[in-house]
Structure 1
Amino acid sequence: MSPRPARLPRAFWIIWSALLISKAGGFVVIIMTLYLTAQRGLTESRAGLIVGLFGIGGAAGVLVGGVCADRIGRKPTMVASAGVSAVALATLGQLTDPVWIAVFVAVFGFANAAFGPAGIAAMADVLRPEDRDRAFNLMFWAINLGMGAASLLAGFLAQFSYSLLFWLDAGTALLAGVLILLAVPETLRHKRSGAEPVHRGRFVDVWRDGVYMTFVSLVFLQSFVWAQAQTTLPLAMTRDGLSESDYGVVLAIGSAMIIGGQLIVPKLTTRFSKATALAMALAFFAAGFGAVGLVAGFTGYVVCAVIWTIGNMMAAPPNATVIADLSPDGMRGRYQGVFSLTHSAAAFAAPAIGGFTFQFLGDGHWAVIFAVGVLAAAGHLLAGPARERATKRRAREASVLIDQSEKVTA
């Protein structure tokens, strides 16, 4: 009989709850384009430019949020992020001038993204290394559960009042911030104990960490492949005579799989090394998206979605764990910020490159995506041994920091 898993720390569950609350109330991002065109009378192109500012603000937010999490502390960064998000959302719902709407969309994107590096760094601070896979899997499940709930409610509530959506989103952001303010202690060890941090690094030190940047590069390839679901996939389905609702159902099936099956993933993947688990995940990505070039009907697209969603479910927990394992205690926020940039970069590269290859290669585009997935899978296998050595080195450094903290507090 296997031993019962250890109970996860209270601070983890509070941050987990705050994430679930904020994601479940995350209506505005979902309906923003429709709101700008239907309620504010903007053209689709102008609305697209404004919504794009959310991503630009987010790219800056993950970097600044990472620095603040390491220098000021995890807790004040999370609380400030939630508070600014609430103010920006409440203000956005009242604005009519497109210029000011654009400004506050960027501010909201910045504040919303700044929460992530601090939140995940705080979780990593309080989790034992052996509990990280299970805990980050629960985090990924909560995020998807919240986003699924927001997707279902946003369209329904928008029929009654767009203004209500802005107020509800602001309210959930504020609630998440208050929950962290009242119930989460500061988790950054040297801020809590008064000891000097072992690492006083800069962003350039993250870029110079070859093992970590190799991992980030592989995650970028994963994100590039995954981003096809929001960029070239709808083009392929339209070309095959399928409707927008068919596309929505295909994506919904993936969300339902994650919500229904994500919690059993650690039982299947913990028997493998991180490198092997990530390589397997990328193999599923490659197979799922690569097969799109071979199908034409709705059923075929559903099968492809099932395959790539299995890869997505397998990749999320070890990705988060590797970041926690490789990042020094005092630089964890910045390491997380650099990791988060991969999603912004992929969100730009996928439509820019994918649109070109899809236009000129047709179904051959999916062979290119298959090759990218296979390349990333092989990269994880090759980079795995060096990553394991770096993980052990970071663990030794962390034990030194703990010893220093105990001497200060003794």
Structure 2
Amino acid sequence: MREPSVVAMTTSSTINPAATAIPSQPRLGLPKLVWALAATHFVGRAGGVVRSFLVLYLTQAQHLSPATAGAVVAAVGLGDIGSQLLGGWLGDRIGRRNTMLVGFVGAAVALAALGSADSMPEIWAAAVGVGLTIELFRPAGSAAVADLPAQQRIRAFGLLYWAANLGFSVATVTAGILAKYGYGLLFWINVVASLAAALIVWRLVPETRPAGSMRTRQALLPVLLRDRLMIAMMAIHVGYFTLFLQTFTTLPLLMTADGLGPATYGAVLALNGIAIVVLQPLAVRLLAGRNAYAVSAVSMLLVGVGAALGAISHGTAGFAGSVVIWTLGQIGIAVRFGDTFADLAPAELRGRYMGLASTTWSIGAVIGPLAGTALLDLAGPTVLGSVCAIGGIALFAAQRALAPALRRRTAAQDEPGPSVR
């Protein structure tokens, strides 16, 4: 979240011809690039009605077992891992804008294939394809925001997160209502939304990749292997996203077992997006100036507590309360997630570092559904809840232990270097 005006930024960036027609004056303190990206996030998430209901589609329409459905959802997450690495690499190679276009158009094709797949091989292949494309825009978009001046980043990442969750709240409510007319309708809505997001990128999003990045061919792996702090942060966030994302697979199963239908599940899950839309702007103001590492530690603990409560709840009110608790933790993590990893990234590897950061989410999307559904199926909700609570405590302790090293890294980066004449 950096911050010279985009006018100044574009003088040292590789500008796509489509970007030259777009004025770069700041709007409410943020450049038009950020508002265009926010529009893609809203449209993509508002129409992204398939993923939250995928496990119900697989178990009810395709008649798969819960464990098999969880494995298919994990296959989407497996594709996600590749998409984050590929998206970061492409963002540094062919540009942030072109990478987002490839991702949105590719996602439309993959979603259409998954919705029409009848055999298990087709379902597996399409699921991986969806994962490989549907999040390809994330590291490229994050790199575009990371290309901004540092003082703009927290607000810019916050706006994108807010727009995405506004769209998510729309998606969960509408999908829960429309699911009664058939899950095929959800797939086609998602396809249209992906194409609409691609159109916004094509018309409104300029290229921000630094002009010298193509000439600097620094390899990622040697730098990463020396960056033990980045590796430690990635490990902690893999654990966090594993704990957090299993809730999206186990919650519908827990609610279904409690006799609650898809519409109720959609309404309860919509609380997540609504709470973020209402509270996240306030959280940016309240938490941006506080100790980021203490905020992250407490937030991870809240996610563990909320997930544990959801595993042992009965009735709509109990499930809704669990969603609100882990949503508070989710908001705390999101306030500083992008900015923290952007500060760790070398300029010439910014796209790939943001891709690695997003990969922690994707790895959690693989492990979470597998572990959550397996634990629920084999050991029951009480054991699942206990593991979630213990996981939240462990993440809290790990983040607190890493805080001193993160403070030293930030302080070292804030020190002015020798002047260059």
TM-score over 0.5 (shorter chain): yes
Q: Deviations over 1:50-89 (max 9, x none)?
A: 4432122111111111111112211111111111112223
Matching residue of 1:407 = none
**Equivalent of residue 346 in structure 2, options 320, 323, 328:** 328
Aligned partners of 1:24 and 1:298: how far apart in 2?
A: 24
Aligned to 1:53: 75
| Distance in 1, Cα, partners of 2:305 & 2:64 | 40
Q: Confirm or deny that 1:201 pairs with 2:201.
A: no
CA distance in 1, matches of 2:258, 2:181: 30
Matches within 5 A, 1:293-312: 302-312=320-330
Label 1:169 to 1:314 Cα distance change in 2 as closer, same or farther (>3 A): same
* Matching residue of 1:271: 289
CA pair 320-31 structure 1, distance change in 2 beyond 3 A: same
Paired residues of 1:218 and 1:376 also in contact (CA < 8 A): yes
1:124 matched residue in structure 2: 146
1:332-343 aligned at under 5 Å gives the runs: 332-343=350-361
The C-alpha deviation readout for 1:121-160, integer Å capped at 9, x for no partner, is 11221x3211211221121111111122112222333333
Deviations along 1:344-382, whole A, 9 cap, x unmatched? 333444466666599398465355234213313413433
Q: In the alignment, which residue of structure 1 is the partner of 2:169? A: 148
Cα separation, 2, equivalents of 1:6 and 1:97? 50
Partner residue, 1:359: 379
Select which of 78, 87, 99 maps to 2:121. Answer: 99
Q: Choose from 196, 213, 220 the match for 2:238.
A: 220
TM-score, with normalisation over the residues of structure 2?
Answer: 0.78
Aligned in 2, Cα 1:55/1:149: closer, same or farther, shift over 3 Å?
same
Q: What is the CA–CA distance in structure 2 between the aligned matches of 1:275 and 1:390, rounded to whole Å?
A: 17
Q: Quickly say closer, same or farther: Cα 1:388–1:300, change in 2 above 3 A.
A: same
Which residue is 2:133 aligned to? 111
Q: CA deviation at 1:270?
A: 2.1
Residue from 362, 381, 394 that aligns with 1:344: 362
Query: Residues 4-403 of structure 1: matches in 2 within 5 Å?
Result: 7-40=29-62, 46-125=68-147, 127-190=148-211, 197-198=215-216, 200-227=218-245, 229-230=247-248, 242-244=258-260, 251-285=269-303, 288=306, 302-350=320-368, 359=379, 362=383, 364-389=386-411, 391-392=413-414
Native 8 Å contact 1:75 1:118 kept in 2:
yes
State the AA in 1 paired with 2:379.
Q
State the Cα distance separating 1:167 from its structure 2 match: 2.8
**8 Å contact from structure 1 (residues 279, 381) kept in 2:** no
**3-state DSSP class of the match of 1:215?**
helix
- Bigger shift: 152-161 or 353-362? 353-362
Q: CA separation in 1, counterparts of 2:119 and 2:313?
A: 46
Contact 1:292 1:366 (8 Å CA) reproduced: no
For the Cα contact (< 8 Å) 2:229–2:406, is it kept in 1?
no
What is the aligned-residue identity percentage?
31
Q: What are the ranges of 5 or more consecutive residues in structure 2 without an aligned counterpart?
A: 1-25
Report if aligned partners of 2:36, 2:201 keep a CA contact under 8 Å in 1.
yes
Deviations 1:387-410 (CA, angstroms, capped at 9, x unpaired): 3135437x979x99xx9xxxxxxx
The answer (yes or no) to whether the contact 1:20–1:143 under 8 Å persists in 2 is yes
The change in CA–CA distance for 1:396 and 1:142 in structure 2 (over 3 A counts) is farther
Residue pair 1:197, 1:330 contacting (<8 A) in 2 also = no
Give, in whole Å, the separation in 2 of the partners of 1:122 and 1:146: 21
Q: CA–CA distance in 2 between the matches of 1:301 and 1:155? A: 16
CA distance in 1, matches of 2:93, 2:361: 24
Q: TM-score, normalised by structure 1?
A: 0.80
Secondary structure at the aligned position of 2:272 is classed as helix
In the alignment, the residues of structure 2 paired with residue 161 and residue 350 of structure 1 have an alpha-carbon distance, to the nearest angstrom, of 27
Partner SS state of residue 208, structure 2: coil
What amino acid does structure 2 have at the position aligned with 1:177?
A
Unpaired runs of 5+ in structure 1?
404-410
The aligned length equals 390
SS at 1:137's partner residue?
A: helix
What amino acid sits opposite 2:330 in the alignment?
A: N
- Determine the C-alpha separation between the residues in 2 that align with 1:377 and 1:172: 37
1: CA distance, partners of 2:178 / 2:251: 28
Moved more, 50-59 or 9-18: 50-59
Corresponding residue for 1:406?
Answer: none
Q: Which 10-residue stretch deviates more, 284-293 or 45-54?
A: 284-293
Deviates more, 1:131-140 or 1:164-173: 164-173
Please give the per-residue CA displacement for 1:298-345, whole angstroms capped at 9, x wherever unaligned: 766655543332222121020111111111222122112222222233
The SS at the match of 2:387 is: helix
Q: Check conservation: 2:169, 2:272, Cα contact below 8 A.
A: no
CA distance in 2, matches of 1:138, 1:157: 28
Contact persistence 2:242–2:368 (CA under 8 A): yes
Instruction: Specify whether residues 167 and 121 from structure 1 end up closer, same or farther in structure 2 by C-alpha distance, changes over 3 A only.
Output: same
Distance 1:260 1:26, change over 3 A: same
